[in-house]
């Protein structure tokens, strides 16, 4: 198997690895993204069951765009493979201990950074949806909790942005919900690196070029969840983590690069002036804060590219423990 197709470097291969581990249950009956999928995912997380792969969703287009994998990085019931999904994210055997997992991340911190390798094209460009060919409000984005302010399509993808001088590219995870047919609204809060780069573009008086990649290499989503020092490249950290350059491909509408084998990529820009109400959202402590939504920046989606039979990973926050807590605590420990 080519290195870039290994489970920790290719989300589709990761899904196949979980199947081989007996850690996925495929659901071929139609499921509703309106609360039903969210409820199933929470049940899975709270009982440490197999990850659900929803192959048929209400609202899919005629090509079946998209499917959903829930609980992509939660715990397993088998005590010998409790951290199996997390281990698979890093290229480790599913029987790895938390000590093994943390040791690999700490070793990567001390290793020499390995820059990504730009390639001409990749699986993420198998299909194109241009303006007028998609409506985000009609695609099967999930309403995860009944009190959520909208359909939170972004729970386990990564934002890709770059400083105006091109010296700092940042990958990060921050929630975002569908706003209208071609816009998202999402959190950008101080002191996030996403916020810092957004402020740089605001000083330039220009909207921030942006991409949002879903179903990225599992090692990349781990890096995107880490609070690396400002100016550091998550892509280079991934290289040091896996020991080889990660393949990236240039976006069609801006100069950003995304993992070449991403399942789905949204390309566009983030406004420096336009905002909209965002939230509330069911948080990792198991509650939804009551009250008014907060004004957050608007992201314009100008192009969607995706793989055939694309899979959208979804993490559904709730009471401990889930991806939010596990990944965050682990990455904080790894850099401390």
- Parse the chain into domains and list their residue ranges: 3-335
Percent of the chain with pLDDT over 90: 83
What is the per-residue pLDDT for 318? 81
Give, for 26, the enclosing helix (H) or strand (E).
strand 24-27
Mean of pLDDT values over 30-41: 98
Catalytic residue positions, numbered: 283
CB count in 10 Å sphere of residue 60: 18
What is the per-residue pLDDT for 333? 55
Its pTM stands at: 0.95
Q: How confident is the model at residue 255 (pLDDT cuts 50, 70, 90)?
A: very high
Mean of pLDDT values over 97-119: 93
| β-strand partners of 276 | 296
Q: How far is 321 from 309, CA to CA, in rounded Å?
A: 30
First to last CA, the chain: 35
CB count in 10 Å sphere of residue 272: 19
3-state secondary structure of 218: helix
Fold of 3-335: Pnp Oxidase; Chain A (2.30.110)
Q: How far is 38 from 55, CA to CA, in rounded Å?
A: 15
Strands 158-162 and 169-172: antiparallel
Strands 311-314 and 67-70: parallel
Q: How far is 218 from 279, CA to CA, in rounded Å?
A: 27
Tokens of 142: 């999930």
Q: How far is 95 from 116, CA to CA, in rounded Å?
A: 29
Least Cα distance to 162 among 234, 79, 242 occurs for 234
């Amino acid at each position: 198997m080519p290195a870039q197709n290994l489970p920790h470097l290719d989300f589709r291969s990761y899904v196949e690895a979980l199947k081989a581990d007996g850690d996925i249950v495929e659901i071929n009956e139609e499921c509703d993204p309106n609360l039903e999928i969210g409820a199933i995912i929470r049940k899975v997380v709270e009982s440490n069951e197999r990850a659900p792969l929803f192959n048929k969703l209400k609202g899919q287009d005629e090509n079946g765009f998209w499917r959903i994998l829930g609980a992509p990085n939660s715990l397993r019931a088998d005590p010998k493979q409790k951290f199996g999904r997390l281990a698979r994210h890093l290229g480790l055997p599913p029987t790895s201990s938390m000590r093994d997992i943390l040791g690999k991340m700490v070793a990567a911190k001390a290793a020499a950074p390995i820059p990504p390798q730009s390639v001409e094209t990749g699986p993420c460009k198998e299909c194109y949806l241009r303006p007028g060919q998609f409506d985000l409000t009609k695609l099967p984005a999930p309403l995860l909790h009944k009190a959520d302010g909208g359909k939170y399509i972004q729970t386990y993808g990564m934002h890709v942005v770059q400083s105006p001088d091109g010296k700092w590219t940042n990958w990060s995870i921050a929630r975002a919900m569908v706003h209208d047919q071609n816009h998202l609204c999402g959190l950008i809060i101080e002191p996030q690196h996403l916020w810092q780069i957004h402020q740089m573009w605001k000083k330039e008086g220009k909207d921030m070029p942006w991409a949002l990649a879903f179903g990225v290499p599992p090692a990349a989503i781990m890096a995107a969840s880490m609070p690396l020092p400002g100016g550091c490249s998550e892509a280079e950290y991934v290289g040091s983590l896996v020991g080889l350059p990660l393949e990236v491909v240039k976006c069609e509408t801006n100069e950003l690069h995304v993992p070449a084998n991403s399942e789905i990529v949204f390309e566009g820009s983030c406004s420096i002036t336009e905002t909209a109400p965002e939230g509330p959202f069911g948080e990792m402590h198991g509650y939804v804060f009551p009250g008014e939504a907060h004004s957050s920046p608007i992201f314009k989606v100008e192009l969607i590219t995706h793989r055939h039979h694309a899979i959208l990973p979804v993490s559904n926050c709730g009471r401990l423990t889930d991806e939010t807590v596990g990944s965050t605590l682990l990455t904080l420990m790894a850099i401390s």
